[in-house]
Structures are given as structure tokens and as C-alpha cells.
Amino acid sequence: MIKKFIRKILGVKNPDDTLDQGKASAKKNKPKVLSAKEHGIDPALVSNNAIRITQTLQDNGYKAFIVGGAVRDLLLGVKPKDFDVATNATPEQVKRLFRRAFIIGRRFQIVHVMFGQDLIEVTTFRGAAKHEAPKDEHGRVLRDNTFGEQHEDAVRRDFTINAMYYDPASQTVLDYHGGIADIRKKTLRIIGVPELRYREDPVRMLRVVRFAAKLKFTIDDDTRAPIKVMAPLINNVPSARVFDEMLKLLMSGHAMACLQQLRKEGLHHGLMPLLDVVLEQPLGERFVTLALANTDERVQQGKTVSPGFLFASLLWHQVLEKWEAYKVSGELPIPALHLAADDVLNTQTDALALQRKIGTDMRDIWAMQPRFEKRVGKAPYKLLENNRLRAGYDFLLLRCASGEIDAELGEWWTDFINGDEQERVRLLSIKPKAKSAESAPAKKRRPRRSPHRQSSGKPKAAPTE
């Protein structure tokens, strides 16, 4: 159905024919070879481990190049965050040459070569896509693990700027599809017939958006045009893969720009439940914007970002809404918060393919929030010992900054965390201003109890304890 519709809209008669044309032109395709002087890559930006790998492979008679995003980033003068290597050695042959090498077989077989904490992905050149490769009913390639020539490998990569090969030994760049020219024009251009390439792998539509936002490149008209029509194909991609791509997008250091671009390309609607939540919740918009700006800043400063914190932020206003509803129905605040967290996690875990660990982190961060309101007795000291305090506290500050709760609470905790014993005693003697609305049921406010009594006999307040 979708196939027919796409053909009709885009006038592609038989997309498989275009594949043949693509293959024919790739065969003729000789790469443009650029010398160090022409491409200007700074060798100091190249990972020593990637050089070790290409060198070892070449010493053993194989071809080996740094490839993909790393070459693109090097050409842009940016230090790549990771390095991939492409070779004509098979995964087994690669594995034999390195002490810590592991064959990973998901969609494509690749080898992970480890040097300490550093991981380099080594892939064998892929052959031209085969007609007989198993596909789903919409044309998405399910498995295709044939090896091939380097020019075939180049044609199977997604964008021209991601299809260049760098040989650290000779310091030459091989450019098969005009990637250098596109880098200079700041243009994202898909290799081959766009409709066909998106149909083979709809995730490429998310990738083009991520690269456009991250690199501040323009999407070429032909590459961009089919996206609006083909966007629904993303629904057929396994949710774990969409999740991986979403995570890359959110942690790219340009999450806000990426989400805006997704919206612009019509890729957000109904495709990813999370995006609908993020982009269309008026109440949470300020919170989410701040959370994403904060994440972008951390990534850009080279700091770590936890997916748990990120998703806890993205879904917080859903939790707040449900928390309120449970309180209105008469639940006590803490159990109400747990019920709300359960509801949100139950719905989103499947929809987003959230890993269990991320879900646990999210719940810990949410569950800690009411505990920040207890500013008497031993409770604040207990919280200081919590090894998740940092995440919970950062989350509290975000809530303050978004105007959801009084800034004074965040300031109190900043002082308490940083203060010496004398300062802490002083802080504990301050009578907090008005109590926040969250700490009591919305309808029937109960008299305030001591923190000890509040938690006794009730479901556990915080699993982090």
C-alpha cells in the first residue's frame, strides 16, 4: 500500500530499477583522491588507536581506512567523537589480528576492537545491495551481510559527506560521491535515489535531520522532498532502533535544534510517542526546553549526560499530571507519585523501548523529589548520603528554573550541600516559607506529620534509599 502510494507520489516506477542504475554508475565510479595539501586534515585530530588498527591491517596485506563520520568531522576541523574503520578483511580476519576484538552481529556483522576504554568499530566493505536481500513488506532491508568492493561500500553509505575514506599512512582521502564538494557547500545529499534509500532504511530520515541540525548544513532539495511523504515508514522500524537514533539525536549536543528540524520536516507527528509528548505539552515546554538546553550545554562541554536524567526530564510533566490526578482521588502524596511513575513508565517503556536500567534511573530521580521538601531533622542528612543525590538535585534545580516550584528550595539545598556543619544547622533552623502544593493531597490536606511518621507503613518512598 505505502509502496504504491510512494511510487505514485514520487513517480518512481520500479525503485529496484534505480538500484541497478545506481550499481552501474558505482562500478564506473573512481574515487577522487585528495592529498594532505588538498584536504587539509590535521593529523593531530586523528585517534592513535584508529591509526594502529589501519596500520596493522595494512601490514597484513589488507586495505584499511578511517571512514564515515570521523572523516567528515576531520574535514570540518572537528575532533571526531568516535572512529570507524572500513577494510576488505572479513570480521574473522580482523578478529585474529587484535587481542581484544569481538564480533558483534546485529543487522550487519562488525568487529569491536578495544584499547582500554576506547572502542573502534571495524567493518568489512559491504557489497552492492542485493535484490534478494530479505525485506519487509514496505521494502525495508532486514538483513544484508554481503561483502564487496570498496566502491560498493561507498554506494551503500547514507550521505555523500559520510562516504569518504581516509588513509592515515598516505594521508589521502578517497571521495566516491562528491563528499568534499558537499562539505564545502555545507549540503547534505543522500547517495542514490532518495526514495529508495529511505525505503531500504527509514532511519536515514532521522539521520539527515540530526546531521543537518548538528552540522548546520542545508538538506539538498531532492534529499529533502520525499521525507514528508515517507515519514510514516518509520513506524515499521523496530522501536529499539528508533530509540537508539533518538538517543543519538538527543545527546548530539544539538537536541533542541534537532527537535525543531524534525518538526519542520514533518517527522515528529505520531512517529515517536516521546516527541509528541515533548513538543506538544504546553505546560512542560519550558521545563523540557531548559532540560534540553542543559543537556546540549553539558555535551558541548564534554561532560557526560545520563539517558535516565534526560528521559526523566522529558516525561516529568506527564508524571506531574498523573501525580496530581492521584492526589485528587485521595491518594497520599508519596504513593500517588509512585503510582504516577508506574503509569508513565508502563506506557513509555514499551513505546520507547526504554531499557530497564534507564527506567530505574528515571524512577529514582522522580522519587527523590518530595524528599527535598523535608527540611527538618535527619532527613536532609540522609539524602546527602544518597549516591543519586547529584542527579536528583540537578533535577530539582531544573524544576526551580522552570518556575514549577519556588526557587528558594533549590537555593536552600545548594547551601545545604555546600555548607559546613554550622551552616547546615543554621539552615535546618530556618522555617520554610509556604509548603509546596505537591507535598499534600490536592483536596483533603492532611495535617503535617514528622518525616518519620509520614513514611511509616506506606509504600517505600524512594527506592534509592
When CB distances to ligand ATP are compared, the closest residue is 69
Question: Within 13 Å and on the Cβ side, how many CA atoms surround 45?
Answer: 19
Using CB under 6 A, pick the residue from 158, 175, 182, 404 that binds ligand ATP.
Answer: 158
Location of C-alpha cell 528554573: 401
| Contact flag: residue 84 with ligand ATP (CB under 6 A) | yes
Kindly report the three-state secondary structure assignment for every residue of 33-102: EECHHHHCCCHHHCCHHHHHHHHHHHHCCCCEEEECHHHHHHHCCCCCCCCEEEECCCHHHHHHHCCCEE
Question: First-to-last CA distance in the chain?
Answer: 53
Tell me whether residue 76 or residue 229 sits nearer to ligand ATP (CB atom).
76
| Contact flag: residue 127 with ligand ATP (CB under 6 A) | no
Mark whether 221 is an active-site residue.
Answer: no
Q: How far apart are CB 158 and ligand ATP at their closest, in Å?
A: 4
Q: How far apart are CB 78 and Mg ion at their closest, in Å?
A: 12
| Contact flag: residue 178 with ligand ATP (CB under 6 A) | no
Tell me whether residue 69 or residue 266 sits nearer to ligand ATP (CB atom).
69
Choose one: 108-116, 198-206, 282-290, 379-387; the region binding ligand ATP (CB under 6 A). Answer: 198-206
Backbone angles phi, psi at 50, to 5 degrees: -65, -40
| Contact flag: residue 157 with ligand ATP (CB under 6 A) | yes
Residue 157 binding partner per list Mg ion, ligand ATP, none, with a CB distance cut-off of 5 to 8 Å that depends on partner kind:
ligand ATP
Mark whether 136 is an active-site residue.
Answer: no
Q: How far apart are CB 159 and Mg ion at their closest, in Å?
A: 13
How buried is residue 350: exposed, middle or buried, by Cβ count under 10 Å (0-12/13-18/19+)?
exposed
Tell me whether residue 298 or residue 317 sits nearer to ligand ATP (CB atom).
298
Tell me whether residue 162 or residue 223 sits nearer to ligand ATP (CB atom).
162
Tell me whether residue 81 or residue 228 sits nearer to Mg ion (CB atom).
81
Cα separations in angstroms, 201 against 134, 135, 237, 284, 390: 13, 10, 8, 33, 39
Cα separations in angstroms, 159 against 87, 294, 428: 19, 30, 59
Residue 335 binding partner per list ligand ATP, Mg ion, none, with a CB distance cut-off of 5 to 8 Å that depends on partner kind:
none
Tell me whether residue 71 or residue 234 sits nearer to Mg ion (CB atom).
71
| Contact flag: residue 201 with ligand ATP (CB under 6 A) | yes
SS3 347: helix
Exactly one of 82, 167, 394, 406 is catalytic; name it: 82
What strand order describes the sheet that includes 101-105?
32-34, 172-175, 164-167, 64-67, 84-87, 118-124, 109-115, 101-105
Exactly one of 73, 144, 158, 361 is catalytic; name it: 158
Mark whether 84 is an active-site residue.
Answer: yes
Using CB under 6 A, pick the residue from 15, 22, 31, 68 that binds ligand ATP.
Answer: 68
Amino acid at 121: E
SS3 454: helix
- For residue 123, what are the β-bridge partners? 86
Query: Applying CB under 5 A, what is the total number of residues that bind Mg ion?
Result: 2
Nearest Cα to 199, choosing from 19, 66, 77, 413?
19
C-alpha cell at 9: 507520489
Residue 204 binding partner per list ligand ATP, Mg ion, none, with a CB distance cut-off of 5 to 8 Å that depends on partner kind:
ligand ATP
Using CB under 6 A, pick the residue from 64, 173, 203, 274 that binds ligand ATP.
Answer: 203
Q: Are 75 and 173 in contact (CB under 8 A)?
A: yes
Residues 6+ apart with CB under 8 A from 400: 406, 407, 409, 410, 411
Nearest Cα to 438, choosing from 289, 273, 355, 319?
319
| Contact flag: residue 204 with ligand ATP (CB under 6 A) | yes
Q: How far apart are CB 82 and Mg ion at their closest, in Å?
A: 5
Amino acid at 232: P
Instruction: Tell me which residues in 318-377 interact with ligand ATP (CB under 6 A).
Output: none
| Contact flag: residue 69 with Mg ion (CB under 5 A) | yes
| Contact flag: residue 149 with ligand ATP (CB under 6 A) | no
| Contact flag: residue 273 with ligand ATP (CB under 6 A) | no
Distance between CA 424 and CA 419 in Å, rounded? 6
- For residue 64, what are the β-bridge partners? 87
Residue 158 binding partner per list ligand ATP, Mg ion, none, with a CB distance cut-off of 5 to 8 Å that depends on partner kind:
ligand ATP
Q: Are 87 and 176 in contact (CB under 8 A)?
A: no
| Contact flag: residue 121 with Mg ion (CB under 5 A) | no
Binding mask 224-253 for ligand ATP (x = CB under 6 A): ------------------------x-----
Tell me whether residue 69 or residue 232 sits nearer to Mg ion (CB atom).
69
The residue ranges that bind Mg ion (CB under 5 A) are 69, 82
Residues labelled catalytic: 82, 84, 158
- Site for ligand ATP, rule CB under 6 A: 68-69, 82, 84, 157-158, 162-163, 201, 203-204, 248
